[in-house]
Amino acid sequence: MRKLEDTYRHKGLRKKLIDTIREKGISEENVLDAIMNIPRHFFLDTALDNIAYEDKAFPIAEGQTISQPYTVAYQTQLLQVHQYEKILEIGTGSAYQSCVLAELGAQVFTIERQKKLYEHTKNFGYIKKYNSIKYFYGDGFEGLPTYAPFDKILITAAAPVVPPILLAQLKPGGMMVLPLDAGDKQRMLRITKNEDGSFNEEAFTNFSFVPMLKGKN
Protein backbone atom coordinates (compact mmCIF):
# COMPACT_ATOMS: atom_id res chain seq x y z
CA MET A 1 0.00 0.00 0.00
CA ARG A 2 1.09 3.57 -0.68
CA LYS A 3 2.74 5.28 2.27
CA LEU A 4 1.14 8.60 3.07
CA GLU A 5 3.59 11.22 4.26
CA ASP A 6 2.86 14.84 5.00
CA THR A 7 6.31 16.43 4.88
CA TYR A 8 7.46 19.97 5.71
CA ARG A 9 7.63 20.58 1.98
CA HIS A 10 3.95 19.63 1.58
CA LYS A 11 3.00 21.83 4.53
CA GLY A 12 4.96 24.73 3.04
CA LEU A 13 3.19 24.33 -0.30
CA ARG A 14 -0.14 24.21 1.53
CA LYS A 15 0.68 27.51 3.28
CA LYS A 16 1.34 29.08 -0.13
CA LEU A 17 -1.97 27.73 -1.39
CA ILE A 18 -3.70 29.37 1.59
CA ASP A 19 -2.05 32.70 0.66
CA THR A 20 -3.28 32.29 -2.93
CA ILE A 21 -6.91 31.62 -2.05
CA ARG A 22 -6.85 34.37 0.58
CA GLU A 23 -5.73 36.79 -2.15
CA LYS A 24 -8.59 35.56 -4.32
CA GLY A 25 -11.03 36.63 -1.62
CA ILE A 26 -11.50 33.79 0.89
CA SER A 27 -11.55 35.49 4.28
CA GLU A 28 -13.11 33.03 6.75
CA GLU A 29 -10.25 31.84 8.95
CA ASN A 30 -11.99 28.58 9.87
CA VAL A 31 -12.30 27.67 6.18
CA LEU A 32 -8.62 28.50 5.53
CA ASP A 33 -7.61 26.47 8.62
CA ALA A 34 -9.61 23.47 7.40
CA ILE A 35 -7.76 23.55 4.07
CA MET A 36 -4.44 23.95 5.88
CA ASN A 37 -5.23 20.88 8.00
CA ILE A 38 -5.96 18.51 5.11
CA PRO A 39 -3.11 16.97 3.09
CA ARG A 40 -4.67 17.35 -0.36
CA HIS A 41 -1.87 15.31 -1.98
CA PHE A 42 -3.20 12.20 -0.17
CA PHE A 43 -6.34 12.46 -2.36
CA LEU A 44 -4.42 12.48 -5.62
CA ASP A 45 -2.36 10.06 -7.64
CA THR A 46 1.31 10.04 -6.52
CA ALA A 47 2.22 11.27 -10.01
CA LEU A 48 0.54 14.57 -9.08
CA ASP A 49 2.41 14.93 -5.77
CA ASN A 50 4.48 17.91 -6.94
CA ILE A 51 1.51 19.88 -8.24
CA ALA A 52 -1.12 18.84 -5.66
CA TYR A 53 -1.03 22.29 -4.06
CA GLU A 54 -1.56 24.28 -7.22
CA ASP A 55 -4.95 25.96 -7.15
CA LYS A 56 -6.34 23.67 -9.84
CA ALA A 57 -8.86 20.86 -10.28
CA PHE A 58 -7.29 17.43 -10.96
CA PRO A 59 -8.53 14.14 -12.37
CA ILE A 60 -9.49 11.36 -9.93
CA ALA A 61 -10.97 7.89 -10.60
CA GLU A 62 -13.84 7.27 -13.07
CA GLY A 63 -13.27 10.41 -15.15
CA GLN A 64 -14.24 12.72 -12.28
CA THR A 65 -12.35 15.58 -10.70
CA ILE A 66 -11.28 16.87 -7.31
CA SER A 67 -12.44 20.49 -7.29
CA GLN A 68 -10.07 23.44 -7.31
CA PRO A 69 -9.20 24.46 -3.69
CA TYR A 70 -10.50 27.99 -4.33
CA THR A 71 -13.85 26.55 -5.45
CA VAL A 72 -14.02 24.27 -2.38
CA ALA A 73 -13.24 27.23 -0.13
CA TYR A 74 -15.73 29.47 -1.95
CA GLN A 75 -18.63 27.03 -1.64
CA THR A 76 -17.73 26.25 1.99
CA GLN A 77 -17.57 29.94 2.89
CA LEU A 78 -20.99 30.57 1.30
CA LEU A 79 -22.45 27.70 3.30
CA GLN A 80 -21.53 29.35 6.67
CA VAL A 81 -20.85 26.04 8.39
CA HIS A 82 -21.26 25.74 12.16
CA GLN A 83 -20.27 22.92 14.47
CA TYR A 84 -22.70 19.96 14.69
CA GLU A 85 -24.72 21.05 11.67
CA LYS A 86 -26.14 18.26 9.52
CA ILE A 87 -24.91 18.78 5.98
CA LEU A 88 -25.92 16.88 2.85
CA GLU A 89 -23.29 16.92 0.10
CA ILE A 90 -24.10 15.85 -3.46
CA GLY A 91 -21.06 14.48 -5.34
CA THR A 92 -18.60 12.78 -2.98
CA GLY A 93 -15.89 12.41 -5.62
CA SER A 94 -12.59 12.17 -3.74
CA ALA A 95 -14.28 13.20 -0.43
CA TYR A 96 -11.89 16.15 -0.13
CA GLN A 97 -14.81 18.59 0.23
CA SER A 98 -16.49 16.22 2.74
CA CYS A 99 -13.32 16.35 4.86
CA VAL A 100 -13.30 20.18 4.76
CA LEU A 101 -16.88 20.16 6.10
CA ALA A 102 -15.92 17.57 8.75
CA GLU A 103 -12.94 19.73 9.80
CA LEU A 104 -15.46 22.51 10.50
CA GLY A 105 -17.28 20.19 12.90
CA ALA A 106 -20.24 19.32 10.68
CA GLN A 107 -21.95 15.96 10.44
CA VAL A 108 -21.62 15.12 6.78
CA PHE A 109 -23.90 12.92 4.65
CA THR A 110 -22.39 12.61 1.20
CA ILE A 111 -23.83 10.92 -1.91
CA GLU A 112 -22.01 9.64 -5.00
CA ARG A 113 -23.80 8.25 -8.08
CA GLN A 114 -20.85 6.25 -9.45
CA LYS A 115 -20.54 2.88 -7.72
CA LYS A 116 -16.83 2.40 -8.46
CA LEU A 117 -15.92 5.86 -7.24
CA TYR A 118 -18.10 5.42 -4.15
CA GLU A 119 -16.32 2.10 -3.31
CA HIS A 120 -12.91 3.53 -4.09
CA THR A 121 -13.39 6.60 -1.88
CA LYS A 122 -15.05 4.75 0.99
CA ASN A 123 -12.03 2.44 1.19
CA PHE A 124 -9.48 5.25 1.22
CA GLY A 125 -7.76 4.78 4.59
CA TYR A 126 -6.91 8.39 5.44
CA ILE A 127 -10.52 9.61 5.54
CA LYS A 128 -11.52 6.98 8.11
CA LYS A 129 -10.21 9.42 10.75
CA TYR A 130 -13.29 11.54 10.03
CA ASN A 131 -16.02 9.47 11.66
CA SER A 132 -18.50 12.32 11.23
CA ILE A 133 -18.77 11.55 7.49
CA LYS A 134 -21.33 9.02 6.23
CA TYR A 135 -21.05 7.76 2.63
CA PHE A 136 -24.01 6.86 0.41
CA TYR A 137 -24.28 5.41 -3.07
CA GLY A 138 -27.27 6.92 -4.86
CA ASP A 139 -28.74 9.67 -6.98
CA GLY A 140 -28.28 13.07 -5.37
CA PHE A 141 -31.44 14.37 -7.04
CA GLU A 142 -33.33 12.19 -4.54
CA GLY A 143 -31.40 13.42 -1.49
CA LEU A 144 -31.60 11.28 1.65
CA PRO A 145 -35.23 11.18 2.87
CA THR A 146 -34.30 8.95 5.84
CA TYR A 147 -31.88 11.53 7.26
CA ALA A 148 -33.69 14.74 6.23
CA PRO A 149 -34.12 17.54 7.12
CA PHE A 150 -30.63 19.09 6.81
CA ASP A 151 -29.25 22.41 8.07
CA LYS A 152 -27.27 22.83 4.86
CA ILE A 153 -27.06 21.22 1.42
CA LEU A 154 -24.03 21.52 -0.87
CA ILE A 155 -24.09 20.43 -4.51
CA THR A 156 -20.59 19.95 -5.98
CA ALA A 157 -21.66 19.17 -9.57
CA ALA A 158 -23.32 21.45 -12.13
CA ALA A 159 -27.07 21.21 -11.45
CA PRO A 160 -29.37 21.59 -14.50
CA VAL A 161 -32.18 22.84 -12.22
CA VAL A 162 -32.56 23.53 -8.50
CA PRO A 163 -33.62 20.02 -7.39
CA PRO A 164 -37.07 20.41 -5.76
CA ILE A 165 -36.67 17.31 -3.55
CA LEU A 166 -33.53 18.82 -2.05
CA LEU A 167 -35.31 22.11 -1.29
CA ALA A 168 -37.90 20.05 0.57
CA GLN A 169 -35.15 18.31 2.61
CA LEU A 170 -33.82 21.65 3.89
CA LYS A 171 -34.72 22.81 7.41
CA PRO A 172 -36.47 26.17 7.77
CA GLY A 173 -33.59 28.63 8.17
CA GLY A 174 -31.35 26.28 6.21
CA MET A 175 -29.20 27.03 3.16
CA MET A 176 -28.31 25.31 -0.08
CA VAL A 177 -25.29 26.24 -2.21
CA LEU A 178 -25.14 24.99 -5.80
CA PRO A 179 -23.63 25.79 -9.18
CA LEU A 180 -26.62 26.19 -11.53
CA ASP A 181 -26.05 25.35 -15.15
CA ALA A 182 -26.16 28.09 -17.75
CA GLY A 183 -24.47 26.60 -20.81
CA ASP A 184 -20.73 26.00 -20.45
CA LYS A 185 -20.49 27.84 -17.13
CA GLN A 186 -22.42 27.73 -13.88
CA ARG A 187 -23.65 30.50 -11.71
CA MET A 188 -23.08 29.92 -7.98
CA LEU A 189 -26.33 30.26 -6.06
CA ARG A 190 -27.17 30.36 -2.39
CA ILE A 191 -30.76 29.60 -1.54
CA THR A 192 -32.06 30.26 1.96
CA LYS A 193 -35.25 28.64 3.21
CA ASN A 194 -37.16 31.10 5.37
CA GLU A 195 -39.05 30.09 8.50
CA ASP A 196 -42.33 30.47 6.58
CA GLY A 197 -41.15 28.02 3.91
CA SER A 198 -40.45 30.67 1.24
CA PHE A 199 -37.00 30.98 -0.40
CA ASN A 200 -34.45 33.74 -0.95
CA GLU A 201 -31.94 33.41 -3.76
CA GLU A 202 -28.55 35.09 -4.05
CA ALA A 203 -26.34 34.77 -7.15
CA PHE A 204 -22.53 34.90 -7.13
CA THR A 205 -19.63 34.33 -9.55
CA ASN A 206 -19.46 31.82 -12.40
CA PHE A 207 -17.64 28.52 -12.02
CA SER A 208 -17.06 25.39 -14.06
CA PHE A 209 -18.12 21.99 -12.65
CA VAL A 210 -18.64 18.47 -14.01
CA PRO A 211 -22.35 17.80 -14.66
CA MET A 212 -24.84 16.56 -12.08
CA LEU A 213 -26.36 13.52 -13.81
CA LYS A 214 -29.61 11.70 -13.12
CA GLY A 215 -29.70 8.10 -11.89
CA LYS A 216 -26.92 5.81 -10.71
CA ASN A 217 -23.98 4.32 -12.60
> Residue 65 or residue 132: which is nearer to ligand SAH going by CB?
65
What whole-number distance in Å separates Cα of residue 208 and Cα of residue 185?
A: 5
Number of residues that bind ligand SAH (CB under 6 A): 23
CB of residue 110 vs ligand SAH: minimum separation in angstroms? 8
CB of residue 195 vs ligand SAH: minimum separation in angstroms? 29
| Stretch binding ligand SAH (CB under 6 A), from 32-40, 86-94, 173-181, 198-206 | 86-94
Is residue 32 a contact point for ligand SAH (CB under 6 A)?
Answer: no
> Residue 68 or residue 174: which is nearer to ligand SAH going by CB?
68
Which parts of 185-214 interact with ligand SAH (CB under 6 A)? 210, 212-213
Which residue blocks in the chain are alpha helix, DSSP H? 8-23, 29-37, 69-79, 96-103, 115-122, 164-168
Q: Is 67 a known active-site residue? A: yes
Q: Based on the number of CB atoms within 10 Å of its own CB, is 52 exposed (0-12), middle (13-18) or buried (19 or more)? A: buried
Instruction: Compute and round to an integer the Cα radius of gyration of the chain.
Output: 16
CB of residue 159 vs ligand SAH: minimum separation in angstroms? 9
Is residue 139 a contact point for ligand SAH (CB under 6 A)?
Answer: yes
What whole-number distance in Å separates Cα of residue 91 and Cα of residue 94?
A: 9
Which amino acid would we find at residue 133?
A: I
> Residue 138 or residue 149: which is nearer to ligand SAH going by CB?
138
DSSP-derived letter for residue 41 is G
- Among 30, 51, 52, smallest CA distance to 40 is for 52
Q: Which residues contact 85 (CB under 8 A, 6 or more apart)?
A: 105, 106, 107, 151, 152
CB of residue 40 vs ligand SAH: minimum separation in angstroms? 10
> Residue 182 or residue 200: which is nearer to ligand SAH going by CB?
182
Catalytic residue (one of 67, 94, 132, 208): 67
Is the backbone peptide bond immediately before 149 cis, with ω within 30 degrees of 0?
yes
CB of residue 211 vs ligand SAH: minimum separation in angstroms? 7
Q: Which residues in this chain contact ligand SAH in the complex, by CB under 6 A?
A: 64-67, 90-91, 93-94, 96-97, 111-114, 117, 139-141, 156-157, 210, 212-213
Catalytic residues: 67
